[in-house]
Structure 1
Amino acid sequence: MSDVLDRFLRYCAVPSQSNPLTADAVPSTASQLDMANVVAADLRALGAQDVTVTPNAYVTAHWPASAGAEGLPALGLCCHLDTAWQTYGDPVRPQVRHYDGDTLTIGRGRDGREVAISPATNPQLEHMVGWDLVTSDGTSLLGGDDKAGVAMVVSLLARLRQDPTLPHPRLAVAFVPDEEIGHGAALLDLEEFGASFGYTIDGGPLGEFCYETFNAAEAKVRASGTSVHTGTAKGIMVNASEAVMRFHAMIPAQERPEYTEGYEGFYYLERMEGNCEEARADYIIRDHDQAKVESRKDVMRRAVDLVNQTYGGGREVLTIQIEDQYHNLANVVTRPEYRHLIENARTAYAKVGQQMRCVPMRGGTDGSQLSFRGFACANLSACYYNAHGVREFVPVPELEAMVDVLQELAALYARPQAAAR
């Protein structure tokens, strides 16, 4: 078993889901601090410098430059420790399955039904016949998003320890909590981190590269009603749940995630609950164009006003609170001083025989925050498929190849001209 595969399996088995309902605390779950300590222990065992775990579950460390590259700018690498909250994530039982083609049943879900992957849903499997795949046992997500990235970065350091002659600048590495709930690297101490550019490793199939993300906002709709016996409710009752339903009906149905692709933005209802007196609905707004995000905010505010008008009497049944979460990192990465992030990634992929494919990410990464805070970073493959669900899988050959890509990338930044283009 390769070093990166061994690490990946160990990391997946450590539950570390984030939780949007406890997002006021960082980390939002105690299990993320457990994961942080596991990674930090591995870094210390390798001999990484300045290994730190904060009470907020941020892990940072440095790796010294190879001979001749000591005076070059540090290269930063960042991954997130948490896994998605939308499905089961504890316990996680990772397994390595050999793929012989057609449908692969990975196990049974918690409802007893078979969980399988096939070329019908994942056409990429057609070129993976004969490969080993890492999956869960069907009862939970795997956690390749982003534990595959974590394993890749730690395995890169293990390789540099094994062969100190491999060229690389000083490396700054960070592993952060709560990316899946929009917090991400907000509390990362960039001065201590010590890099002004680099990469997140939090993307899809091998060869994918992202320097464009959504702009993101979240909207919290709250309803306050009046409960009264249904037999005497006429003219008195105000049903908070009905008010939220009216609001939702005014949001364009064709602009939901399940009907959009590419650069098309959307509104997404994350959760809702309520009764007659109180109800709530939480939404996210996404678009690559910030002006369109602002337009979507206006649509939601007008919908709130219209619902309130229907109840008359000047009563404010609905309220809405909208906050920005992150912005399109293309606004930073495409600046001339950071174009090397794109071109060096293209070269590193090519050195392992992979053509880079630039894709607009229909989401965000830690780089979506960090790039606007002074750490410009694009996003590299973490090689996971079907993220955020029980059918998630990571092909072992791609997992291993990305460590080669990171090694080639580090070598490119061991040259003075790489960071000066």
Structure 2
Amino acid sequence: MQNIIDRFISYIIIDTESDPKSSTTPSTLKQWDLANKLVEELKTIGMQDVTIDENAYIMATLPSNVNHDVPTIGFISHFDTTPDFTGANVNPQIIKNYNGKDIILNEEEGIILSPDLFDDLLQYKGQTLITTDGTTLLGADDKAGITEIITAMEYLINHPEIKHGKIRVGFTPDEEIGRGAHKFDVEKFGADWAYTMDGSQIGELEYENFNAAGAVIKVKGKIVHPGYAKGKMINSMYIATEFINSLPELETPEHTENYQGFFHLSSIEGKVEETILQYIIRDHDKKHFEARKEMIQNLADEINSQYEREVIVVEIKDQYYNMKEKVEPVMHIVDIAEEAMKQLGIKPLIKPIRGGTDGSQLSYMGLPCPNIFAGGHNFHGRYEYVPVESMVKATQVICKIAELTALKN
């Protein structure tokens, strides 16, 4: 267990925050720091065909150790962390034999990780937790996944009695800003299918995710001196407020769960002359997804009809789609992962992802790619933590999937 702790910490102390405003790949130069370290580590443990391209996409091979034909499988994780919260100067705390009570993350600032707010903590009583110090995120999303993949590959190399086919591993930049799969070379990767190790709590196994789009709503006003504005000024912020309030009040992230979709207003920049609204649109059901995009446009058209000129311009771009459509025809790849968990005494939690994953884009690029737990909780913020035992189990799941895939029958 200590080797997993040491490996994980060596990754999370390297700042790899991505930047949505950047046009480069990777979006930040500091992602190269961990990328280059991973390349050397893959070589050190004995992986073959270790490559890193000009965009920091890493691939490596563990050759088959059986004589019969076995499908080539892959395991994929991302090494960037979200720009939602700082990942610089991560100072992890290790809580051994967690007692089920409040954990003081930062005494000086009064930051507490409490089961009163995060009741998932209680299922890890007696285990070893790695938390933040309350001032940064942890980076388990998805450095836990990378830790598990490399540790599993090292274990298989050191235990050749475990039979497996050819295994490919891939590590990507910029997943947190939606670009992790954009420049992933599926043909070069050469796997029949793969798994992203990017889920949350132990047991998660996911092959459904949101259909996703981003919408930019530009509201045009007209500025004149407020003392002489009667009949002349058009305040874009008031029109934007009308637009916001006209969307379904309860179809937002804070009011929805499970398969329920939503409209999420993620940012506003406003002045009298122009206000810009940034929305994300999410729904698991494709028809409902299309209806949500149509509702945005229809609402803009309705408001525009009240003015002599166009005051609202809508730009909607699809981001990714529900991988279910691509995975269901090859459900045996989910069945193998489920069986691997059961054989290891893990209760599979098969549920939809209320978000996206590299796997959704990769599935549409020809690489079916369900998502498996990496163990962390409360991603993207100061309350993030990961039970070490969950990382150990995820490592075992990878090895067991490889073993089950290699069975002749």
Q: TM-score per shorter chain, which class?
A: over 0.9
- Secondary structure, aligned partner of 1:254: coil
- The aligned residue for residue 259 of structure 1 is 255
- Secondary structure, aligned partner of 2:170: strand
- The aligned residue for residue 340 of structure 2 is 348
Amino acid at match of 1:58: Y
Residue 115 of structure 1: how far off its partner (Å): 2.1
Residue 68 of structure 1: how far off its partner (Å): 2.8
Q: Write the deviation string for residues 91-147 of structure 1: whole angstroms up to 9, x where unpaired.
A: 222221232222111225xxx632222222222222322211111111011111111
- 1:278/1:57 Cα in 2 relative to 1: closer, same or farther (>3 Å)? farther
- The aligned residue for residue 295 of structure 1 is 291
Select which of 67, 74, 83 maps to 2:72: 74
State the distance in 2 between where 1:225 and 1:218 align: 23
State the distance in 1 between where 2:356 and 2:257 align: 15
State the distance in 1 between where 2:160 and 2:189 align: 22
- Secondary structure, aligned partner of 2:207: strand
Residue 388 of structure 1: how far off its partner (Å): 1.4
- The aligned residue for residue 167 of structure 1 is 163
State the distance in 2 between where 1:20 and 1:356 align: 34
State the distance in 1 between where 2:44 and 2:186 align: 24
- The aligned residue for residue 312 of structure 2 is 318
Superposed, which structure 2 residues align to 1:10-409 within 5 Å?
10-22=10-22, 24-68=23-67, 71-98=69-96, 99-107=98-106, 113-310=109-306, 312-313=307-308, 315-335=309-329, 338-409=330-401
State the distance in 2 between where 1:44 and 1:30 align: 22
Q: Is the 8 A contact 1:33 1:56 kept in 2?
A: no
- The aligned residue for residue 2 of structure 1 is 2
State the distance in 2 between where 1:248 and 1:300 align: 10
Residue 287 of structure 1: how far off its partner (Å): 0.7
| Structure 1: runs of 5+ lacking an equivalent | none
State the distance in 2 between where 1:233 and 1:320 align: 27
Q: Write the deviation string for residues 184-207 of structure 1: whole angstroms up to 9, x where unpaired.
A: 212111111010202111111111
State the distance in 2 between where 1:95 and 1:363 align: 28
Residue 258 of structure 1: how far off its partner (Å): 0.4
- 1:103/1:275 Cα in 2 relative to 1: closer, same or farther (>3 Å)? same
| Structure 2: runs of 5+ lacking an equivalent | none
Which stretch shows the higher mean deviation, 73-82 or 287-296?
A: 73-82
Residue 42 of structure 1: how far off its partner (Å): 1.2
Q: Write the deviation string for residues 332-368 of structure 1: whole angstroms up to 9, x where unpaired.
A: 1111xx2221211111111211121111111111111
Residue 43 of structure 1: how far off its partner (Å): 1.0
Residue 57 of structure 1: how far off its partner (Å): 2.1
Q: Is the 8 A contact 1:5 1:399 kept in 2?
A: no
Which stretch shows the higher mean deviation, 369-378 or 179-188?
A: 179-188
Q: Is the 8 A contact 2:12 2:143 kept in 1?
A: yes
State the distance in 2 between where 1:392 and 1:16 align: 16
Q: Write the deviation string for residues 256-286 of structure 1: whole angstroms up to 9, x where unpaired.
A: 0000001100111111212222321211111
Q: Is the 8 A contact 2:18 2:27 kept in 1?
A: yes
Q: Write the deviation string for residues 181-231 of structure 1: whole angstroms up to 9, x where unpaired.
A: 222212111111010202111111111111111111111112232222211
State the distance in 1 between where 2:26 and 2:257 align: 31
Which stretch shows the higher mean deviation, 219-228 or 357-366?
A: 219-228
Which stretch shows the higher mean deviation, 372-381 or 28-37?
A: 28-37
Q: Is the 8 A contact 1:48 1:62 kept in 2?
A: yes
- 1:241/1:55 Cα in 2 relative to 1: closer, same or farther (>3 Å)? farther
In the TM superposition, structure 1's runs of 4+ consecutive aligned residues that sit over 4 Å from their partners are: none
- 1:304/1:25 Cα in 2 relative to 1: closer, same or farther (>3 Å)? farther
Amino acid at match of 2:385: F
- Secondary structure, aligned partner of 1:201: strand
Amino acid at match of 2:378: N
State the distance in 1 between where 2:385 and 2:350 align: 22
- 1:282/1:25 Cα in 2 relative to 1: closer, same or farther (>3 Å)? farther
- The aligned residue for residue 412 of structure 1 is 404
Q: Is the 8 A contact 2:46 2:154 kept in 1?
A: no
Q: Calculate the TM-score normalised by the size of structure 1.
A: 0.93
State the distance in 1 between where 2:142 and 2:83 align: 13
Q: Is the 8 A contact 1:199 1:378 kept in 2?
A: yes
State the distance in 2 between where 1:369 and 1:210 align: 14
Amino acid at match of 2:327: V
State the distance in 2 between where 1:89 and 1:236 align: 48
Aligned residues: 408
State the distance in 1 between where 2:11 and 2:400 align: 24
